[in-house]
Amino acid sequence: MQKEKIIESIDLKKDFGKKQVLKGVDFTVKRGEIFVLLGSNGAGKSTLCKILTTILPFDGGQVRINEHDLLKDGVKVREAISLTGQFAAVDEMLTGYENMKMIAALRHVKDKHKVVSDLLKRFDLQIYSQELVKNYSGGMRRRLDIAMSFIGDPQVIFLDEPTTGLDPQNRIATWQLIKETAISGRTIFLTTQYLEEAEYLADKVAILHEGKIIVNATPQMIKSTYDKQKMEINVLTIEDFNLLSAHFKRRLLTKNEEKLSVTVNVGDHFNDSVDLLNELKRLPIRITNFQQKNASLEGIFLKLVQGVV
């Protein structure tokens, strides 16, 4: 059964004065997906996030969220979403518990105390819940801000670079909660500057570059389309190097005479790697080292935004 669209953006445009930031952005997000938006600094990720959450108006195109038109039915859209922006939106003069309970009241949550207590525990904030937020560290404020986004079971949770400023332990804990939330049927729209975050979390990855979405697919599809698995082979002598380079001329990616290393394409399946190793065994060369390098989103992202691919 195909999942329904919960976010749909068609030819979305946004200008700031004479500068056109979004030049016709098209994408869809299915219900229950973790959709990760990548882009260089200044690409327009936060602008897009603010438009989708009704904070910023847009200049052209159409957006629908949870079957509601963003322009015609903004109230219904806001009822269906929550947002964690780049900067923590917490009240410093309230305790962590009071901040959470306030949001629970605004979202008309029935069992406020239980919902708030459970989230404080999951975000490792329980023992600090009665302290004023002005005494929290930056990481604690960030965790509290993210926890507040999960109150009331919104249909779509927008997270704009949510783990910036978190230590590795809390970053991984946040990733796990995001995955659990998506499994329960909620949809996550997430922007990030961490490529490993996108690789770990995303069902779909989109890259925003120069005002348009230039890639929109699963991480696996992106890696198979834009980058292949590679194997780097080091040999003992220049004679071995020349023979190896000539043998793999059609599959050659790079070669480094100084290091006596050759990098060649490998197929996407495990048997392709086995076949390559068997081929190497039949060559009259002395191999000193070899290592397989898998395709990565980071490498592909850099190639795409720098115009190499």
Q: Are residues 183 and 291 in the same domain?
A: no
Looking at residue 236, what is its pLDDT? 93
Let me know whether 131 and 247 are in one domain: no
Identify the CATH number of the domain in which residue 62 sits: 3.40.50.300
* Residue 309, in any domain of the structure: no
How do residues 228-237 score in pLDDT, each as one tens digit?
677 889 999 9
Query: Contacts from 113-117 at CB under 8 Å and sequence distance 24+?
Result: 115/151, 116/151
- pTM value? 0.75
Boundary of a domain, candidates 195, 217, 239 = 217
pLDDT of residue 309: 42
Helix crossing, 112-122 with 96-106: angle to 10°? 130
Confidence at residue 71, expressed as pLDDT on a 0 to 100 scale: 92
Q: Tell me: do 210 and 232 sit in the same domain.
A: no
The SS3 of residue 18 is: coil
pLDDT in tens, 5-59: 999 999 999 999 999 999 999 999 999 999 999 988 888 998 999 999 999 999 9
User: How much is the pLDDT for 268?
Assistant: 62
Quick check: is 276 in a domain? yes
Domain for residue 138, yes or no? yes
| Residue ranges of the chain with per-residue pLDDT less than 70 | 1-3, 227-228, 267-270, 294-296, 306-309
Distance CA 35, CA 269 (A): 27
Report which secondary-structure segment, H or E, holds 223.
Answer: helix 219-226
Query: What CATH number is attached to the domain comprising 252?
Result: 3.30.70.100
What pLDDT sits at residue 276?
Answer: 82
pLDDT at 158 (0 to 100)? 95
